[in-house]
Each structure stands twice: as C-alpha cells, then as structure tokens.
Structure 1
Amino acid sequence: MADSEKAMPTTTAAATDGRESPATDAGVKAKDQWVEDHSSRAHLAAQFTAWERGLTTWQAARIYWRTVLWVIYAELAIFGYGIDGVIAGYLTGIPKFTETYGTPYSEGTVTYIISATWLSIWSGVTQITAIIGALAAGYLADLIGRKYTNLIFCLISIAAVGAQYASTRDGSMPILTAGKAINGFSIGAWIVIAPLYASEVSPLPLRGIMTAATNFIMFCGLLLFNGIMYVLAPMDTDLAYKVPLALQWIMPVFLASTIVLFPESPVWLIRFGKKERGLKAMKKLYGENSGVDLDGLVAQIEEDIEHEKRESHQTTDNRGYFEVFKKEHRKRTLIAVMAFTFVQASGNIFVLGYQSYFYQLIGYSARKSFLITVLVNVIMFIATISSWWGITVLGRRTLYVWGELITAICLFAIGGASVAGTVDAYKAVVGFIFVWAFAYQFTVGTVGFPLLLEVPALRMRARTQAVANIAMSVTQWVIGFTFPYLFNPDAANLSGKVGFIYAGLTVLGFLFSFWFLPETKNRSVAELDALFASGVAPRNFSSYVVDFDEENDNAAIVRKKD
C-alpha cells in the first residue's frame, strides 16, 4: 500500500438511527479533501510537465540558466576523473618520468620503461578502489545528500594527490600507486554524484545535454592535461611530471572551499520529507522570479515519487542495494549497467590512455607524439560539443547503437593496419584513430551518461548508478590490468593489433544495444515508469505514447502510436 493510500482517512460505523455520525461525516469530508488535493496535485504536475516539454532547448537554457551554472559546478569534480583515467599512460610517455620511476630498456627508441607489472598495478588500482567509492557514494548520497557526499570525497582526493606528489622525492612507485589507489575512492564517487545531481535538477529539454555534460567536463580536464603535457613532456626536468600530478589538486580544493554555497538536490530533500528545505534549494537553483512554477515542480516531484512507490508496491523508501535487482527494477538495472559498461570496452583505454606512448613506440618523437595526441583530443572536443545536438535531435538510442558499430569498424581497421607494420600502415592507423575519436565522442562516449540516469526509476538512480559504476570499474580494471601485458614491448607486444580485441568487445556492445536499448529522449519519469511496467520491448518504446487519466488516480495508459 502506497504512502498516499495509508494517509487516506477511513470512515467510522454509522449511527444507530441510520444517519451518519459526526465522526463519520468528518471522515468522509477528510477523505474527499484528500482526493481533491491529490487530484489537484496530479493536475498541477501534469500542467508543469506539459509546459516544460513545450520549451525549446534554447528557451529552457534562458529560463534555467542558473540551473545550468549549478550543474556545471557540481560536475567540476569530473574534471579530475578525466585526468586520473589517463595519467598513467601519459606519464609513461614522459622520458624524464620513466627515467625517475622506471628501469633501463635498450631495445627500440625508448631508453627507460615502467615494467608491465608496475604499469598494470598503477593504471588498474583506481578501478578497484573506485568500486568501494561508488558503493559508498550511492549509500551516502541518499543518507546525507549529494552536497556533503561530494565534500567528503573532495577531502579524500586532496589527501590522495598529496601522497602521489610525495612520491616524486625518490621516484617511489609504491607510494605513487598508493596515492592513486586512495584517489580511486573519490573517482568512483564523483562519477555517481555529479551526473546524478544533473539528472535531478535539469529540466526535461536540457536533461540529456546536462547529464552528457559530465563527459564534456571530464574531457575538458583531459584536454587541458594534454596541452600541458605537450609543453612539459619533452622537458628534461622534474617539472615534466610534478606539474601534471599537482594538477589533480585544482578541482577538489576549489569545490571543498566553496561547497557551502552549493544548493542540495530538491528531489532528495522532498523525497525524504524536507519540503521546506527543498523549496529553499529550488529558489537558489531556479530563481524566485524566473518564470518557473515552483509549486508545479514540487507537485511533479511528489507525483513521480508516489507513482514509483505505487508501481513497486513500496510503503517505505529504503536505501538498500538489493532493491535494484528486484523484479520491477531488474530489467532497467541491467540495461543501465550494460550500456554504461560497454562504453569502457570500446577501445578508449588505447586511444585515450596510451596513444602518446603508442606513437613513440612506432617511431615518433615525444614532442610529436604529444602534438598528435593534442590534435586527436581537439577533434574529440569538437565531437563532444556536436553530440549535444545529436542527443537532442537524433536521440540516445540512435547515437549509441550506430556509434558502437562505427567504432568497431575503426578498431578493426586499426588492428588490420598494424599487422602490416609499415610506415604507411602506421600513418593509416593514426588516421583511423582520428576517425574513431570523433565517432566515439559524438556517440557512445557522450550518450552513456544520459542513458544511465534516465533508464532507472527516479528514486533508484543513486543506487543503480553506483552498481553501474562498479560494473564499469571492474571492466576498467580488467582492461587496465591486461592492456600493458598485451601492448607493452616487454610482454605480448601486440601494439596496435590490440584493436582486434576491443573491436570484438564493441561488436558485443552493438548487438546488446540494438536489441535492448530504449529511446529515452523527451520521456518524463512517469512515462518511462509506465513503459517499463507495460511489458513493451524497450527497443520499441519510440512506437508508443503514454496518456495519464487524471480522474482515475492519474493512471497511465500505454498505447501504440496511430
């Protein structure tokens, strides 16, 4: 029985003379008032949803400009996620770094290398601790809110980067690795908190763009890191690797020192009975005179929460993780987890993490290697911004499905050209890396975040996202640990031929997304709940519409388009 049903007053027995007693009459009036209030709230919520859906992207951006700025602020932590994900591969490409931390190597064009064992541990350790960080963040985000969860992990990151920087004194790989491991707790948490907040506070026309902005902020960190590495990498000084390590301090220090200004998620506040604080946060997020009907927004949030509880037969809002695997949520959890996980299996560890190192192994100088890397990342930056149009116009499913296919073709081409191993063949490899980079960022790399946040039920987002991040972290760890053994000159030495392996994984991602991925563009929370509950195959969601019967407890009616 839903909370609203429990709250409905019941009538007492009739008076002995056959007339209703005063108690009975009061009970009926209270019940009628509840029904009227409930109907009014449903009507108000429906009106607000219709108004919001009628806004163009540009209109929504003008009205919700404060929200856009606060979402960007919340996602700044992801800036550090982008750096952490590639720092091992990038620092390995710095001659001065490998000289300080590595061992002599006499073959080929490099003189020092980090052994495959240490490279595997160092590059993969974050994914292990990120699992714990994601679990903790999913629980804490529901327990103490998004704001203070973010603060906790910013403080952890500040200490972790301090340990990494301390390793520069004597080139200690154990200390460097320990610092990276501790930072992994924050990395796992940030990838849960930032897009979760964006999905909860963004209006419907901007929801896809703002959750996809997680990838944009992450990539901004990567692009800045690339530019600095291009300047510093060839330098024969300790600054070549000390400055990149210190860069990881920027965002956690900034966020920790300004978090007091940050408005908590109104969805979280209202969900846990803090309506007045929720209204106060809304005024900060949306503005009091912005044209946003805050009463309508509150009604929409309350209706979504109640509707979800009613659909899942929940009388309380627990914080347990097992609920994401219950029958009513299992399909949605699987889709969200797999869609997010396949993003990490699309070859990005090779292109994003080790491309500078790869260019040096095939004969390019350190400076030219980092120049090519910067150019690739500029292409990816352009693709990321372009994807906002794609997400809004083409939709999530279209971009993801065909993006997986295109990136798989590019990876097969990279592997095939690397087999030849000639100068011209390697030039072709570099060309296909550029094509892969644009296709990946325009499609799969960006759209994974909106899908992850839109597919789960509203109140399950934090926990589903934590579970998805665990699956992604395990995937990253397996790939990150095995990649150096497959790629490195002192191990299997596959070099660019690793493209075949990741092409195969990407084909699996294409098949999965083609058969199971729903289109979530322009779908409200209530509409997605109704579609998943209806039994319609997710890949066919775009062929159905959802109507709501306000006179019958706002019941959802799913029907095929005319």
Structure 2
Amino acid sequence: MSSEKCDPTEIHHVDYSNTPRKAVINAQLIFACTVFGAASFLFGFDDKIISPVAALVPFVKKFQGPNPVTGKFVLTARNQNLVFSLPLVGSVIGGLVASPMNYHLGRKWPLMAAYVISVGGGLLQVFAPNLGAFVGGRSINGIALGIANATAPLYISEVVPASIRGRCVASMNILNLIAGVVSTVVVFRTEKMDGIQSYQIPLAVQCALPVLLLFLTIPIPESPQWLAGKGKLKKARDNLRKLRGFSDAEVEDELRLVVLSEQNSCELRAQTKFWDIFQRHHLKRTLTAASFFSLNQISGVILSTTYTTVFLTELGIADPFSLTIIASCCTLAGTIAAPFVVDRAGRRPTAFVGMSILFVIDAVAGGLAFSRDKQSTLAIAILSFVFNFFWASSFYSLSSLMPSEMATPKLRHHTMSYTIACAQTTAVITTLVVPQLTSADAANLGAKTYLIFAGCMAVILVCFYFLLPETRGRTFAEIDEMYAAKVPMWKWRSYETSLEVRPSEAKG
C-alpha cells in the first residue's frame, strides 16, 4: 500500500497560455473503454439468448414437455419464472458483492473475477441434466453479470474526460445490443437442428466470451480516480498519462480535479460504510441513481426483449425467431443513436422525449390488444420494435450513464452496487409477474399488459421531472457542488459553478 496522502496541494495549477492543445483521446483510452465496455456484450448475450433458447422445441422437450394447457412446446408460466426470474437473484447478489470488491480491489480485478465465475456458470448450463441444474448455471452466471454491470460503467465514467463521458458510457450499450443481435442470429441458425445441440451450441458460444474478455482485460490500466482515492498519486498520474493524448501539463490539471473531487472525503474514506448512501445529504442521489436502472424494467420493454420470442409465439406471430432478430436490430439502432443524443441534447431532454414516446406506444399497443384480428396483432409486433428503438436511445442509455456520474466520489462504488442490486431486484419481480399476466395458463392478458406499463411510464415521467439532473459536460466536482447547493434539477443546465471546480479550459 502506498504511503502517499490524498493531498490536493501536490497537484499544482497549470498555466495554459503557452501549452499547445492536443487531442484528449489516444489509442490506449479507446482500447481500455472498448474492453471494459465489452462487459456489456457478455450481459447482452446472456439477456437476449435466453428467450429464443427457451422457445426452442428441443429445449422444452428436454426440460418440460408439452404445455398442459395448450399442448404446444411452450414453457409454462411457472417454468418461465424459473428460467427467466430466479437467476436474476444471482445478479442482485453480484451487484451487492461488487461494492466491497470495487472499494478494495479497484475496477480491473473485480471484472476479471466476474469473467472466471461466468465461465463456470456457462458450462453448467451447457451440460445441465435437468431444469434445476440449468437454472443453477444461470444463477451463477447472474452473479458474474451483477459484478460486471456495477464495475464496467464505473471505470469508463472515471477514465474519460467529462466532455465525452455521456457518449462513452452510453456506447457500452452498443456492444450490449450487438451481442443481442449476435445471440439471436446464433439461435436462428441452430433452430432447425434436431436434438439438444440446437440450444447447447449457443450456450457454448456464451462460455467462450468471458475467456476472451479475461485476457483482453489484463493489460488495461487501473482507474486513476480509484488510485487517487487510495492515495496512490504516482500510479494515478502514470495511468492517467497512459490514457490521455494531450500534454503532461494538462494531465496534471486533470489530476488536480480528480484529487479535488476526492479531498472532502479523504480522511473519512476508511470509515465509509455502504449504508452511508442513505444518509440525508446523499439520499436523493442514491434514489435517483437506483431508480434509472430499476424503473426501465417497468417501461414495457421486457415484452420485446427478455420475453420477445416467447411473447411473439404466444401472440401467434409467424416465424417468431426471425422477428426476434428484427427486434434486436431495432434495439441496436437506438443504442447506436444514443451516444450522439445524450451529449448533444442533454440528459433531461433525452429522457423526457424518449419516455413520452414510450408512454404513447404502451397505451396504443395495449389498446390494440382488445382487437384479435391479424392486423392488430401485427401492429402490436411492429410497435414493439419501434418501442425498442426509443427505449434504447433514451431510457436505457441513461440507465447506465446517470448512476455512474451523479454519485458522490467517496460513495460511487457503493452507489453503483446498490443501483445494480435494485435493478436486478426489479427485474426479478417483473420477470416473475409478466408470465403470470401474459401466459395462456395464467391471467391470459397477452398484449393488454402494455396498458399496465403505460400507467407505470406516466408515474415515471412525473418523478423524473423533479429528480433528474442535467449533468452534461460537468466534472464530478461540479456535480458535487450543485447537489450541495441544492440547485433544483431543472436549473442545472444554466447554473454557474465556482471556478476552482472547473477544468482550466472551461475557465478560459
């Protein structure tokens, strides 16, 4: 352990009058963000592969048999709960475990540990002799995904400059959704196979991904922000130098801001506990961060992502496996658009425009469900694809970005851990409830369930008006200052922070 202290006086102010400005981004930063962002590829593959796999006839034959109500090879509501919902408990555990791991081990080692755990869970799924073993493998993999989801956005938000933080963190979702398209295409290619190979091959591909990512993560520099918080200023400086394309003088000024965001909590850091995120002066930030990941689960997207193939099969849509690929491509298109939107339009406009469109789609799709003709059913399917685009370009992109940048520095790892745990807890609830609402052997509401989600979106819009800050282009120190000053959320865009918490270029 380094004996260096977290002393901001060690980082001197820099005069930029004679310092040439160079590009911020270099190859090492691009590589580091891409590799850490690829953790979302693992999550996206797992999230999108399970619906088409669970709809494969050989899978249902192996683990269940015909549905006793319909006689078709479709999982019952109970078994859908086991396959989709129960493993998410592992993600909750992983999200909570990530907090102490990120505090003591940094960002790099927890992610590598997650990949090792993921390989074990994946192998158990491939060779599962029964449904219980398969669900156990998914649960183990869920632990790994919980750790990775809490760690990867944390690292990216800490290593990139504030001016491009939004598009970089949001770009993680592109890899997530590319994984979704890849996974659905893999299952589409194996669907015609006879026997258990039709689902074992996609699951084997899933096992290979964390092995590749593990080796790519080894050379990545540790987060300078975490190192500075631990008093390792020399190592923080060296790593920041590796991750920046501009001059040493500008590296020094950025390190000054990093240390400034840490200095208020340096003496108390050793005594910081997880439960501090619920203290009165942190509670608003904690609840807002957690609500993004959690509430996007009740937007209605679960019908067109997690349960896509099963849902389309229940609707009687022709060739649901092909349409699942289209649904994944629509989500990917929205994710690609998101990085260009969140930093240009800002966080609040992106959220409110996108969420309003989601509310309208939920209401219209739910209304069409009362008509049972083929045209209405096809319209619902098309609306679900449109829903995927706007969800990915707004609500989903902000879900990974906002928690990573609004948390106070000394509690960032705790806040991200709590956020992932809350999100997966909500996911457990929604994946448990949705089959009970949509399935023929349960409430048999089908697409009418969209009306329930429309009501949820109306409440979400009102809540976020009062809770969602505009953090575009703000340093962590500026965000701290505005929360401390209790600036209303709708005034953040125009608020002028004090000079000492701004980058030198912004002061100029």
| TM-score in terms of structure 2 length | 0.92
One-letter code of the match for 2:494?
A: S
Aligned with 1:270 (options 225, 228, 241): 228
Q: Which residue of 1 aligns with 2:143?
A: 185
The superposition leaves residues 384-424 of structure 1 with CA deviations (integer Å, 9 ceiling, x where unpaired) of 11111111110111111221221111111111111111111
Q: Which residue of 1 aligns with 2:66?
A: 104
Contact 1:47 1:296 in 2 (8 A): no
The superposition leaves residues 156-213 of structure 1 with CA deviations (integer Å, 9 ceiling, x where unpaired) of 111111111111xx4x100001111111111111110100000010112220111112
Determine if the alignment matches structure 1 residue 485 to structure 2 residue 436.
yes
Contact 1:516 1:539 in 2 (8 A): no
SS of 2:222 mapped into structure 1: coil
One-letter code of the match for 1:497?
A: K
One-letter code of the match for 2:40?
A: I
The CA distance in 1 between the partners of 2:497 and 2:120, in whole Å, is: 50
Deviation of 1:290 after TM superposition, in Å, equals 6.5
Aligned with 1:221 (options 169, 172, 179): 179
Deviation of 1:475 after TM superposition, in Å, equals 0.5
Contact 2:106 2:222 in 1 (8 A): yes
Aligned with 2:265 (options 289, 292, 309): 309
Determine if the alignment matches structure 1 residue 466 to structure 2 residue 466.
no
The CA distance in 2 between the partners of 1:315 and 1:189, in whole Å, is: 25
The CA distance in 1 between the partners of 2:487 and 2:236, in whole Å, is: 35
Bigger RCO (CA 8 Å, 6+ sep):
2
Alignment CA distance shift 1:504-1:47 (3 Å)? farther
The CA distance in 2 between the partners of 1:421 and 1:341, in whole Å, is: 32
Q: Map 1:477-516 onto structure 2 (within 5 A).
A: 477-516=428-467
Aligned with 1:401 (options 352, 359, 364): 352
Contact 1:125 1:177 in 2 (8 A): yes
Aligned with 1:149 (options 110, 133, 137): 110
The CA distance in 1 between the partners of 2:154 and 2:469, in whole Å, is: 19
State, as a whole percentage, how many aligned pairs show the same letter. 24
Q: Which residue of 2 aligns with 1:26?
A: none
One-letter code of the match for 1:372?
A: L
Deviation of 1:332 after TM superposition, in Å, equals 1.0
Moved more, 138-147 or 89-98: 89-98
Contact 2:49 2:184 in 1 (8 A): no
SS of 1:254 mapped into structure 2: helix
Alignment CA distance shift 1:479-1:320 (3 Å)? same
Determine if the alignment matches structure 1 residue 330 to structure 2 residue 283.
yes
The CA distance in 2 between the partners of 1:410 and 1:361, in whole Å, is: 20
Alignment CA distance shift 1:47-1:499 (3 Å)? farther
Alignment CA distance shift 1:291-1:435 (3 Å)? farther
Q: CA RMSD in A?
A: 2.6
Determine if the alignment matches structure 1 residue 117 to structure 2 residue 78.
yes
SS of 2:497 mapped into structure 1: strand
Q: Which residue of 2 aligns with 1:19?
A: none
SS of 2:369 mapped into structure 1: helix
| Matched positions, count | 499
Contact 1:142 1:462 in 2 (8 A): yes
Aligned with 1:528 (options 450, 456, 479): 479
Deviation of 1:489 after TM superposition, in Å, equals 1.7
Q: Map 1:383-398 onto structure 2 (within 5 A).
A: 383-398=334-349
Alignment CA distance shift 1:101-1:465 (3 Å)? same
Determine if the alignment matches structure 1 residue 257 to structure 2 residue 257.
no
Contact 2:77 2:441 in 1 (8 A): yes
Alignment CA distance shift 1:291-1:43 (3 Å)? closer
Deviation of 1:528 after TM superposition, in Å, equals 1.0
Q: Which residue of 1 aligns with 2:506?
A: none
Q: Which residue of 2 aligns with 1:86?
A: 48
The superposition leaves residues 263-296 of structure 1 with CA deviations (integer Å, 9 ceiling, x where unpaired) of 1111111210222222332343336x77773222
The CA distance in 2 between the partners of 1:497 and 1:156, in whole Å, is: 39
Alignment CA distance shift 1:541-1:512 (3 Å)? same
One-letter code of the match for 1:251?
A: L
The CA distance in 2 between the partners of 1:534 and 1:319, in whole Å, is: 22
Aligned with 2:90 (options 129, 144, 159): 129
Contact 1:101 1:114 in 2 (8 A): no
Alignment CA distance shift 1:142-1:476 (3 Å)? same
The CA distance in 1 between the partners of 2:271 and 2:158, in whole Å, is: 19
Q: Which residue of 2 aligns with 1:456?
A: 407
The CA distance in 2 between the partners of 1:328 and 1:47, in whole Å, is: 36
Moved more, 257-266 or 387-396: 257-266
Structure with higher Rg: it is 1
